[in-house]
Amino acid sequence: MPRSPAASRGRATRNDVAKLAGVSPAVVSYVVNGTKKVGAATEERVRDAVAKLGYRANPSARALRLGSTEMLGMVMPTAMNPYFAQLAHEVEVAAAKRGYMVLTFTSDSSVVAERDQLEQLAGRLVDGVFLCSTVSEPDLRSLDLAGIPIVLLNNSVTLPTRDSVGVDLLHGAHLAVEHLAEHGYTDIGMVAGVGDVGGDQQDARETGWLESLERLGLTPGAIVRGTFTPDGGYEAMRRLIRSRSVPRALFVGSDQMARGVLRAAHEAGLRVPEDVAVVSFDGSLDAAYSWPTLTSVAQPLSEMAEAAVDALVGPPHERLHLVVDAHLVLGRSCGC
Amino acid sequence: MPRSPAASRGRATRNDVAKLAGVSPAVVSYVVNGTKKVGAATEERVRDAVAKLGYRANPSARALRLGSTEMLGMVMPTAMNPYFAQLAHEVEVAAAKRGYMVLTFTSDSSVVAERDQLEQLAGRLVDGVFLCSTVSEPDLRSLDLAGIPIVLLNNSVTLPTRDSVGVDLLHGAHLAVEHLAEHGYTDIGMVAGVGDVGGDQQDARETGWLESLERLGLTPGAIVRGTFTPDGGYEAMRRLIRSRSVPRALFVGSDQMARGVLRAAHEAGLRVPEDVAVVSFDGSLDAAYSWPTLTSVAQPLSEMAEAAVDALVGPPHERLHLVVDAHLVLGRSCGC
């Protein structure tokens, strides 16, 4: 494409545009910022001059004028996991209600990318940042230096000095295991996710699974682990099938993983729930559109998003450490 | 949370911070912008003063200093459709290779939100914008005024004055229909998507379906329409089933829609592909993790993303109107 605008970027000034268009510099600002209506012919002349000179308005002028940027930032690991895509959508909806837009970065689960993106947001005129961090102790120095408030979202890790909103993973796991036990299953295994918050730490869903089994007096069934993706669930389930130790019931760490578990089961001729019952986690669209439909521990994303947005742009408040309850959404995969 | 930083935002100056920390204003800039290393004790004093005063650095200073912002913007309808989430991911990967980050907005298919978001990006120090528009004639005035280059991405609509990168939807539809015909099916219907680019316009995939059937000398099978979502496919397929006119084979407008089609078929006891064969469109992760796995017309997202990023930040070039070819990815849903 003709790259003159980019090539000459920053060279032309408002005065240059005014001169070429034969108007005052103030009129250039009216047109460029849309702050005041001018005649159609005048507007056309200014637009032509802007295009010809590759003039670029000073982007901070408008924000400085408004005081607030009416803009929030969000950093999350990936939008390819529908759970995060839905969470981001709910945040956008909640923010829009309050007159804010949300700019999103995805870190691809890289700690370095996450830090760089927070730094970019710190320098980019946002009023606050939602962070779905990939680590338990994110580097927030750039935001602190810029005086930009932060909410840790979807993080079971709570930092005493930070607002946070997350779901009770332990309690959610208890719901899943107890439901499987109510069906009469005693051999309850797990396809657990790794690579989440905390690195080497055991995922809280796995901890909750163990806790529930102990409380119920049941011996833990076989456990396999994988990434929180369909591929991760697929590979883990294939290992379980190859080892000929598929438990009668499985708690699976996420709906995404469960998609892989279902595929591996289908391919091996295992019927769900007749041969192996499944309860997964997240209650996302994936649960409703899997076959069989998944019984899943649903996170109240809308409630979480509303609370997170309020924490950033609502009235002053005490430090927020909100842990919301998950609830079970019934599908066919558990045998109900 | 303690909101002093936000509350006093914009009031404290660099000089205030310097005074409180007992350093020169230049040292404040070194710490805040990370431009020069200072002693640990000095840095700590500056950070304390920044926090205490709620000082916020001028965000445009850094970008002005660098000349380029090393930042691109992207506006797309939704990240809840895995197709767009994957496309955005490929754009991020391609941009990162060239040293750029990508800020993303989702418009929720709203023309007004799309326009507002483009305006925000125009004022937010990005070097270029990828637009997956929800309309055939997007409002690009704010970007033009700011001299920011644009690439229309994933858009079969081509504007003569704009760079564009998209897939050949017609050709993709031909591939799908011809493949079903090769299986020997003569009654080939369609579950078509609506609400995409162009409003009232017929979707290009539907046009391609008709073209192929005509070329093959086949009478078009039943057609139903819905939104490009699992729900849209589900409702459309249920209508088809209720009308007792389910064709022997179906071309479905997207993998997302096909998930709904599969669910409706499962619920009605229709076997795929034994009772109804399915070929869908996009070749996304959804195709691989549906049951049965979907035969789907795959878009070469990585190639599209590379071309789009090059168009924005690569060497100067002629106007780009790239239309890439789709290809068929085989699953079990067609009967292969």
**Alpha carbon of B211 to those of A28, B198, B250, B280: distances in Å?**
51, 19, 15, 17
Which amino acid belongs to residue A246?
Answer: V
In tens, the pLDDT along A316-326 reads 888 899 999 99
What's the pLDDT at A10? 44
Give the integer Cα–Cα distance in Å for B132 and B291.
30
- Residue B110 domain-assigned (yes or no): yes
Q: How far apart are the two ends of chain B, measured CA to CA in Å?
A: 59
Residue with tokens 């549906």: B290
| Residues on chain A touching B282 (C-beta within 8 angstroms) | none
What's the pLDDT at A194? 86
Lowest mean pLDDT among A184-198, A297-311, B168-182: A184-198
Instruction: Answer yes or no: is pLDDT of B153 > 50.
Output: yes
Out of B141, B263, B319, name the one closest to residue A289 (CB).
B263
What's the pLDDT at A33? 66
Lowest mean pLDDT among A56-70, B61-75, B184-198: A56-70
What integer best gives the mean pLDDT of chain B? 87
- Interface confidence, given as ipTM, is 0.77
Contact B59, A60 (CB under 8 A): yes
What's the pLDDT at B24? 85
| Residues on chain B touching A78 (C-beta within 8 angstroms) | 85, 89
> How many domains does chain B divide into?
3
Out of B92, B113, B318, name the one closest to residue A106 (CB).
B92
Which amino acid belongs to residue A44?
Answer: E
What's the pLDDT at B67? 57
B56/A106 touch (CB, cutoff 8 Å), yes or no: no
Instruction: Answer yes or no: is pLDDT of B95 > 70.
Output: yes
Distance from CA of B200 to the nearest CA of A (A): 26
| Residues on chain A touching B147 (C-beta within 8 angstroms) | 5-6, 9, 50-51, 54-56
What's the pLDDT at B299? 94
What's the pLDDT at A73? 94
| Residues on chain A touching B48 (C-beta within 8 angstroms) | none
Size of interface A-B (CB pairs under 8 A): 204
Out of B1, B79, B234, name the one closest to residue A317 (CB).
B1
Residue A224 shares a structural domain with residue A119 = no
Contact A228, A258 (CB under 8 A): no
- Residue A335 domain-assigned (yes or no): no
Q: How confident is the model at residue A35 (pLDDT cuts 50, 70, 90)?
A: low
Which amino acid belongs to residue B108?
Answer: D
From A332, which residue of chain B is nearest by alpha-carbon distance? B267
Contact A173, A207 (CB under 8 A): yes
A85/B88 touch (CB, cutoff 8 Å), yes or no: no
Residue A33 shares a structural domain with residue A132 = no
Residue A176 shares a structural domain with residue A287 = yes
> A118, A145, A318, A320: best mutation site toward chain B, by most B Cβ within 10 Å?
A145
B146/A7 touch (CB, cutoff 8 Å), yes or no: no
Contact A221, A188 (CB under 8 A): yes
Give the integer Cα–Cα distance in Å for B118 and B141.
9
Q: How confident is the model at residue B197 (pLDDT cuts 50, 70, 90)?
A: very low
Q: Residue A88's Cα: distance from chain center in Å?
A: 5
- Most confident residue range from A139-153, A235-249, B77-91, B304-318: A235-249
Give the integer Cα–Cα distance in Å for A152 and A131.
5
Instruction: Answer yes or no: is pLDDT of B247 > 90.
Output: yes
What's the pLDDT at B222? 97
CA atoms within 13 A on the CB side of A144: 15
From A68, which residue of chain B is nearest by alpha-carbon distance? B9
Out of A1, A105, A127, name the one closest to residue B149 (CB).
A1
> A27, A29, A60, A302: best mutation site toward chain B, by most B Cβ within 10 Å?
A60
Residue B118 shares a structural domain with residue B178 = no
- The tokens of A296 are what? 């899943």
Question: What CATH number has the domain bearing residue A262?
Answer: 3.40.50.2300
Q: Taking Cα atoms as reference points, which of A16, A61, A9 lies closest to residue B124? A: A61
Which residues are A165's β-sheet partners? Answer: A153, A322
Residue B197 DSSP class? T
- The tokens of A114 are what? 């996450």
- The tokens of B56 are what? 């916020």
| Residues on chain A touching B86 (C-beta within 8 angstroms) | 80
A51/B147 touch (CB, cutoff 8 Å), yes or no: yes
- pTM as predicted: 0.80
In tens, the pLDDT along A256-311 reads 999 999 999 999 999 999 999 999 999 998 999 999 999 999 999 999 999 999 99
Residue B279 shares a structural domain with residue B305 = no
In tens, the pLDDT along A51-90 reads 787 676 654 555 555 556 788 999 999 898 889 999 999 9
Residue A137 shares a structural domain with residue A227 = no
Instruction: Answer yes or no: is pLDDT of A8 > 50.
Output: no
Residue A253 shares a structural domain with residue A306 = no
Using a 10 angstrom Cβ sphere, with 0-12 exposed, 13-18 middle and 19 or more buried, the burial of residue A47 is middle
% of chain A residues with pLDDT over 90 = 57
Give the integer Cα–Cα distance in Å for B282 and B331.
13
Distance from CA of A49 to the nearest CA of B (A): 10
B59/A3 touch (CB, cutoff 8 Å), yes or no: no
Distance from CA of A199 to the nearest CA of B (A): 23
What's the pLDDT at B11? 54
Which amino acid belongs to residue A42?
Answer: T
Give the integer Cα–Cα distance in Å for B180 and A35.
57
B80/A63 touch (CB, cutoff 8 Å), yes or no: no
Instruction: Answer yes or no: is pLDDT of B55 > 80.
Output: no
- Residue B63 domain-assigned (yes or no): no
| Residues on chain A touching B291 (C-beta within 8 angstroms) | 262-263, 266, 290-291
What's the pLDDT at A9? 41
A263/B289 touch (CB, cutoff 8 Å), yes or no: yes
Distance from CA of A50 to the nearest CA of B (A): 6
A56/B147 touch (CB, cutoff 8 Å), yes or no: yes
- Cis status, amide bond into A220, omega within 30 of 0: no
- Residue B333 domain-assigned (yes or no): no
Burial call B148-175: b when 16+ CB within 10 Å, e when fewer: bbbbbbbbbbebeebbbbbbbbbbbbbb
Q: How far apart are the two ends of chain A, measured CA to CA in Å?
A: 59
| Residues on chain B touching A162 (C-beta within 8 angstroms) | 1
Contact A125, B59 (CB under 8 A): yes
Residue B294 shares a structural domain with residue B181 = yes
CA atoms within 13 A on the CB side of B71: 24
Q: How confident is the model at residue A158 (pLDDT cuts 50, 70, 90)?
A: confident
- Residue B113, H or E segment: helix B111-122
B60/A62 touch (CB, cutoff 8 Å), yes or no: no
Instruction: Answer yes or no: is pLDDT of A315 > 70.
Output: yes
| Residues on chain A touching B163 (C-beta within 8 angstroms) | 1
- Residue A62 domain-assigned (yes or no): no
B127/A47 touch (CB, cutoff 8 Å), yes or no: no
Query: Angle of helix A204-216 relative to helix A169-182, nearest 10 degrees?
Result: 40
Give the integer Cα–Cα distance in Å for B203 and B265.
24
In tens, the pLDDT along B273-305 reads 999 999 999 998 899 999 999 999 999 999 999
Question: What CATH number has the domain bearing residue B24?
Answer: 1.10.260.40
Residue A157 shares a structural domain with residue A305 = yes
Residue B116 shares a structural domain with residue B201 = no
Instruction: Answer yes or no: is pLDDT of B111 > 90.
Output: no
| Residues on chain B touching A62 (C-beta within 8 angstroms) | 123
Q: What is the SS3 string spanning chain A?
A: CCCHHHHCCCCCCHHHHHHHHCCCHHHHHHHHHCCCCCCHHHHHHHHHHHHHHCCCCCHHHHHHHHCCCCEEEEEECCCCCHHHHHHHHHHHHHHHHCCCEEEEEECCCCHHHHHHHHHHHHCCCCCEEEECCCCCCCCCHHHHHCCCCEEEECCCCCCCCCEEEEECHHHHHHHHHHHHHHCCCCCEEEEEEECCCCCCCCCHHHHHHHHHHHHHCCCCCCEEEEECCHHHHHHHHHHHHHCCCCCCEEEECCHHHHHHHHHHHHHCCCCCCCCCEEEEEECCHHHHCCCCCCEEEECCHHHHHHHHHHHHHCCCCCCCEEEECCEEECCCCCCC
- Residue A108 domain-assigned (yes or no): yes
- Residue A286 domain-assigned (yes or no): yes
What's the pLDDT at B195? 67
- Residue B62 domain-assigned (yes or no): no
Could you tell me which residue, A140 or B14, shows the higher pLDDT? A140
B105/A105 touch (CB, cutoff 8 Å), yes or no: no
Residue B180 shares a structural domain with residue B287 = yes
Residue B283 shares a structural domain with residue B311 = no
Q: Which domain holds residue B280?
A: 169-300
What's the pLDDT at B58? 54
Q: How confident is the model at residue B3 (pLDDT cuts 50, 70, 90)?
A: very low
